[in-house]
Chain A
Amino acid sequence: MADTVLEVKQLTKRYDDLLAVNGISFEVHRQEIFGILGPNGAGKTTTLEMIETLRPIDSGTVVLDGLDVTTQAQEVKRRIGVQLQASSFFDKLSLKELLALFGEMYDRRVDPLALLDEVELRDKARSYVVQLSGGQKQRFSIAAALVNNPVILFLDEPTTGLDPQARRHLWGVIRRIRSEGKTIVITTHYMDEAEELCDLVAIMDHGNIVAHAPPQELIRNLIGKGFTKERVERLANLEDVFLDITGHTLRDE
């Protein structure tokens, strides 16, 4: 396997009585798409925020691109791209201005239009964030996460609330960014998304990693245990029907 970009060991976070993250460990390798799955409240976001230096680590270590997240937080921030769950951007600054400003926060002169090209938003360069659709907002926050040409990109539930067309489109954007050499850590509670997109997944529940393998391997293991779905495998599902009728074209532009 390729070299390790992120190494998490015994990571723990406790809120009063709640053990939000319970000594989890995993590794992410270069150019991998690593999925952290789990129901709401499983500890996905807390895990990400500890890795992103946004939340103090109670115990355990996180080494990112050879840097310790606790002691070298500032240097870590320079190497990561962050898309936070449900976070927004300033009003009254255009996408172009916002990207330039975020670039300055990393002491970089960025080319906003090139970044917007990356997420197919060049024609919205002069728009404000409030004027964007849900899918466009998520793509824009990915563009903002790319201003510092990060080694690793963290996407926290980027497709939550998007329609099937916008989700698929975003998957395409994420795959392309990976193909350009980036490593991506993504959280989701859509299993089809993880199966489609991730090379490796860690399933979290109650602060623990309860499974950790490539999606296909997890599926084979389950079938190997003699699992069969109650209903006969269908050749299509309702989402296929929906996409067949409404098409794959994006609706938000």
Chain B
Amino acid sequence: MRLKGKLAIAAFKMFFRQKEAIIWTIALPLFMIFLFSFVDFDSLGTVSLGIVNHSQDTVLLSRLRTVKTLKIHTGDESEELAQLKKGERVLVLVLPGSFEPGAKDTLTLYVNAEKPQESQAGRMMIQRVLDEMAFQRVNVPRPELRAEMVNSRNLTYIDFLLPGIVALSIMQGGIFGVSFSFVILKKRGILRRMLATPMSPSDFISAQVVMRLVVLMVQTAVMVGAGVWVFKIHFIGSLLDMLVVAVLGGVIFLAIGFALSGISKSEDQVAPVANIISLPMMFLSGVFFSRASLPGLAYVVTGFFPLTYLADGLRDIATEGATLTMIWPQLIGLTVWAVISIVLAVKAFRWE
């Protein structure tokens, strides 16, 4: 036990004395989130509406501004029509000088024919606002829709991205961190030198595993902390639950790292295999973009990726406030992968 402790302490010292380690485990993932925080994906769902107002009315304009989906631009007719032709506007609404809210009138709406879905949605919204104003004016009672808001926290892209990046970092740390460091230990005869001592090799391995798991817990906590305080994510889950899922996922990728180091003799051999395993997961496991947009079969297959289970599990906790019992499908998926990868690691790992 004393030896295990000493080995673990030594493992921590070796890890944290490498500047690259801090860069790869903490700085780089945070930098990625930082970069993506500038990308305004939320504007993708909006309808760009140009308004040319020849009237004195301001009520319609202010009503339309309250509709979040509409992005309002105002200008004179020739300007706005030019923007429409360039594709910068979906709709351009012209209010004639005689316009009065609720009065019978004909308004001209120029429609971007290239964007039928968006223009249709925009038209309905404008019509609804006009109808409301007309009803108000004549004071006709009307049935009212009372919307019950469910899950209306307005999740941003960063809310979606951060748990994914945490999962991705766990995968990279496991697969690349372990396989590279063990291949180097092997190549430089360091493992062999230790075999000449009476120490049990499993003590050394377990110290390394403990070190890596603690590192990934620290990594997860730091990233969630940065997410909440710096990137202002909507985090409503339990950090403790996230750490449990992170460790379970970590076990999978550490084991894959050990397996890879077993079948490779040098860093040059390990790199391509590690990339073949990690790249598809990096882009298809729903880290950066939702898997929902994947075509049928790809959607089904990627659902079984270990990184998908990890990213989904972490995300459900972070953004939906899911508890461990609620994400049981992910936990089962992760457990199955953990068993598979540990078996692979035990079979493939070599000391020499």
B13 contacts across to A, CB distance below 8 A: 92-93, 97
**In whole angstroms, how far apart are the Cα atoms of A77 and B185 in the complex?**
21
B14 contacts across to A, CB distance below 8 A: 90-93
B325 contacts across to A, CB distance below 8 A: none
A102 contacts across to B, CB distance below 8 A: 197
Contact status B17-A105, CB under 8 Å? no
Nearest residue, chain A, Cβ from B185: A90
The 0/1 profile, CB within 8 Å of B marked 1, for residues 75-96 of chain A is 0011010101011111111000
Contact of B3 among A87, A90, A107 (CB under 8 A): A107
Contact status A101-B193, CB under 8 Å? no
Secondary structure call for the B interface = helix
Contact status A87-B197, CB under 8 Å? no
Contact status A78-B198, CB under 8 Å? yes
Contact status A101-B10, CB under 8 Å? yes
Contact status A89-B190, CB under 8 Å? yes
A205 at the interface (CB under 8 A from B): no
A157 at the interface (CB under 8 A from B): no
Q: How many residues of B contact A (CB 8 A)?
A: 21
Contact of B18 among A86, A92, A106 (CB under 8 A): A92
A106 contacts across to B, CB distance below 8 A: 197-199
B329 contacts across to A, CB distance below 8 A: none
A139 to chain B, nearest CB (A): 16
Contact status B189-A87, CB under 8 Å? yes
Contact of B192 among A74, A84, A105 (CB under 8 A): A84
Contact status A52-B196, CB under 8 Å? yes
B351 to chain A, nearest CB (A): 10
Contact status A54-B192, CB under 8 Å? yes
B198 contacts across to A, CB distance below 8 A: 74, 77-78, 105-107
The 0/1 profile, CB within 8 Å of B marked 1, for residues 99-112 of chain A is 01110111100000
A135 to chain B, nearest CB (A): 18
Contact status B3-A104, CB under 8 Å? yes
B155 at the interface (CB under 8 A from A): no
B228 at the interface (CB under 8 A from A): no
Q: Given the known A-B contacts A87-B190, A93-B13, A97-B13, are A77 and B196 also in contact in the complex, defined by CB atoms under 8 Å?
A: yes
Residue of A82, A91, A100, A105 with most partner-chain B CB within 10 A = A105
Contact status A105-B190, CB under 8 Å? no
**In whole angstroms, how far apart are the Cα atoms of A53 and B199 in the complex?**
13
Contact status B189-A105, CB under 8 Å? no
Contact status B189-A88, CB under 8 Å? yes
B3 contacts across to A, CB distance below 8 A: 104-105, 107
**In whole angstroms, how far apart are the Cα atoms of A92 and B14 in the complex?**
5
Question: Which residues in window 1-16 of B have CB below 8 A to A?
Answer: 2-3, 6-7, 10, 13-14
A107 contacts across to B, CB distance below 8 A: 2-3, 198
Question: Which residues in window 16-69 of A have CB below 8 A to B?
Answer: 52-54
B194 at the interface (CB under 8 A from A): yes
**In whole angstroms, how far apart are the Cα atoms of A74 and B200 in the complex?**
10
A105 contacts across to B, CB distance below 8 A: 3, 194, 197-199
A104 contacts across to B, CB distance below 8 A: 2-3, 6-7
B18 contacts across to A, CB distance below 8 A: 91-92
A84 contacts across to B, CB distance below 8 A: 189, 192-193, 196
**In whole angstroms, how far apart are the Cα atoms of A88 and B193 in the complex?**
8
A90 contacts across to B, CB distance below 8 A: 10, 14, 185, 190
Contact status A54-B188, CB under 8 Å? no
Residue of B10, B14, B185 with most partner-chain A CB within 10 A = B10
Given known contacts A77-B196, A77-B197, what 5 new A-B pairs fall within 8 Å (CB)? A77-B198, A84-B193, A92-B13, A107-B2, A144-B193
Residues of B within 8 A of A (CB): 2-3, 6-7, 10, 13-14, 17-18, 185, 188-190, 192-199
| A/B interface sample: 6 pairs, CB < 8 A | A86-B189, A90-B14, A91-B14, A92-B18, A93-B13, A105-B199
